């Protein structure tokens, strides 16, 4: 599945360890041509830690747009609002119809490691394809590609 | 605007898991006034709904109505187009409370939700917790026969919650409990 956009972070999957995991996949690589990548730390604390560890620069040099902590693309608010027929792979928590922009855009949800690999390859893929090494089971894509939201998903985010 | 105790309107029928993104998409969350958001109600569920729905109509849905993001303007959008009542098999918990907070009448009534078909004329009594369908209703079984048609029951809200609905929401209802900024009791 080819993608137009990758989002890593938000209040969901925006912890420092999530970005360390994504950084290990993307280190030494660039975001694929034609793909927008947005990095969203969950909090100011995470943002500062990313800066201290050099990960803001790593993501920016790979070609990502690195944001301060904020709501935005997850709910089609701002930054990377999806157009008709666009495909996004995101580590956020909801992919209801129209969630990230146009009602005919598609959103796949998954882990930071898979999101990072997807940004590099421009299509939904396993981190192994980028790093050449097997990722821990916890970082692999569920069922090979992004998970989908259960109607029972909980959360109080906007 | 307050919710009437007795409701009479035509039914708009939807399925399970109607989420707040299709009720009022996130792209309109910067709007705050009912007159601004009403044109976007159900935009990604039933395009054109605001032009089709009539004041007093009733929305009927399946399980988990209002799931997803806790956006208060989702029930506000439904209220702002003039919908008088939402009947569902079940509601997502935050949406349920948001309906009380903004004064959109709701009833949990699984049998009624099954039996009501799109376009049926529904009569509901919020205080009694009853939903009445004329005998011309085309839906499934359930309910008890009445001279008019079939009657379904829902557990009515207690009086203090109905008072919130009647006053048009939590903030409006609290105005009666304050005078010149001082709490004067209930």
The CATH number of the domain holding residue B178 is 3.20.19.10
Predicted confidence at residue A152, as pLDDT, reads: 43
Overall average pLDDT of the A124-147 stretch = 72
Number of structural domains found in chain A:
1
Q: Measured between CB atoms, which of A99, A151, A153 is closest to B21?
A: A99
Predicted confidence at residue B90, as pLDDT, reads: 98
In the block, which residue shows the tokens 């304050």? B178
Nearest to B153 by CA among B126, B120, B131: B131
Question: For residue range A52-73, what is the model confidence (pLDDT) as tens digits?
Answer: 999 999 999 999 999 999 999 9
In the block, which residue shows the tokens 């089971």? A137
Confidence of residue B105 (pLDDT cuts 50, 70, 90): very high
Q: How far apart are CA B87 and CA A57, in angstroms?
A: 52
DSSP one-letter code for A135 = P
* B1 in a structural domain: no
* A70 in a structural domain: yes
Q: How far apart are CA B45 and CA B4, in angstroms?
A: 26
Question: For residue range B2-23, what is the model confidence (pLDDT) as tens digits?
Answer: 456 799 999 999 999 999 999 9
Q: How far apart are CA B112 and CA A155, in angstroms?
A: 29
Largest CA distance in chain B: 54
> Could you tell me the residue range of the domain that residue A119 belongs to?
5-144
Other C-beta atoms closer than 10 Å to the C-beta of B162 total: 17
The CATH number of the domain holding residue A136 is 3.30.499.10
Question: For residue range B128-178, what is the model confidence (pLDDT) as tens digits?
Answer: 999 999 765 455 556 676 666 899 999 999 999 999 999 999 999 998 888
Number of structural domains found in chain B:
1
Sequence-separated (6 or more) residues with CB below 8 Å from residue B186? B160, B177
Side-chain-side CA neighbours of residue B156 (13 Å)? 16
Nearest to A24 by CA among A90, A91, A113, A110: A113
* B145 in a structural domain: yes
**pLDDT over 60 at A143, yes or no:** no
In chain B, which residues have their Cβ closer than 8 Å to the Cβ of A97? 19, 21-22, 44
* A23 in a structural domain: yes
Question: For residue range A2-55, what is the model confidence (pLDDT) as tens digits?
Answer: 999 999 999 999 999 999 999 999 999 999 999 999 999 999 999 999 999 999
Confidence of residue A155 (pLDDT cuts 50, 70, 90): very low
Q: Measured between CB atoms, which of B16, B19, B64 is closest to A96?
A: B19
Overall average pLDDT of the B81-91 stretch = 98
* A154 in a structural domain: no
* B30 in a structural domain: yes
Average pLDDT of chain B? 91
Overall average pLDDT of the A68-90 stretch = 95
- Give the whole-number percent of chain A exceeding pLDDT 90: 82
Interface test with A, best of B15, B18, B22, B27 (most A CBs within 10 A): B27
> Could you tell me the residue range of the domain that residue B28 belongs to?
6-183
Q: How far apart are CA B146 and CA B151, in angstroms?
A: 6
In chain B, which residues have their Cβ closer than 8 Å to the Cβ of A96? 19, 21-22, 68
A152/B68 Cβ within 8 A: no
**pLDDT over 70 at A144, yes or no:** no
In chain A, which residues have their Cβ closer than 8 Å to the Cβ of B94? 156
């Amino acid at each position: 599945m080819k993608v137009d956009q990758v989002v890593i972070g938000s209040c969901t999957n925006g912890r420092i360890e999530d970005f360390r995991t994504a950084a290990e996949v993307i280190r030494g690589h660039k975001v694929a041509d034609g793909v927008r990548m947005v990095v969203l730390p969950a909090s100011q604390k995470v943002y500062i830690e990313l800066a201290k560890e050099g990960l803001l620069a790593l993501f920016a040099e790979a070609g990502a747009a690195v944001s301060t902590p904020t709501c935005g693309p997850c709910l089609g608010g701002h930054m990377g609002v999806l157009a008709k027929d666009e495909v996004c792979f995101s580590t956020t928590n909801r992919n209801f119809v129209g969630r990230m922009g146009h009602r005919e855009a598609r959103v796949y949800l998954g882990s930071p490691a898979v999101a990072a690999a997807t940004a590099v390859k421009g299509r939904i893929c396993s981190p192994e394809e980028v790093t050449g090494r097997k990722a821990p089971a916890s970082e692999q894509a569920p069922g090979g590609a992004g998970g989908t939201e259960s109607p029972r998903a909980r959360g109080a985010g906007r | 605007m307050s919710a009437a105790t007795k409701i009479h309107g035509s039914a708009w029928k939807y399925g399970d898991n109607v989420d707040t993104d299709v009720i009022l998409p996130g792209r309109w969350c910067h709007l705050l006034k009912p007159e601004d958001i009403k044109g976007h109600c159900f935009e990604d569920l039933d395009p054109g709904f605001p032009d089709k729905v009539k004041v007093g109509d009733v929305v009927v849905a399946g399980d988990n109505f209002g799931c997803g993001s806790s956006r208060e303007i989702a029930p506000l959008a439904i209220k702002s187009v003039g919908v008088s009542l939402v009947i569902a098999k079940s509601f997502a918990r935050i949406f349920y409370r948001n309906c009380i907070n903004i004064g959109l009448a709701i009833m949990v009534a699984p049998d009624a939700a099954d039996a009501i078909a799109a376009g049926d004329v529904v009569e509901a009594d919020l205080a009694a917790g009853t939903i009445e369908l004329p005998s011309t209703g085309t839906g499934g079984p359930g309910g008890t026969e009445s001279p008019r048609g079939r009657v379904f029951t829902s557990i009515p809200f207690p009086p203090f919650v109905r008072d919130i609905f009647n006053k048009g929401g939590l903030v409006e209802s609290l105005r009666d409990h304050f005078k010149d900024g001082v709490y004067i009791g209930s």
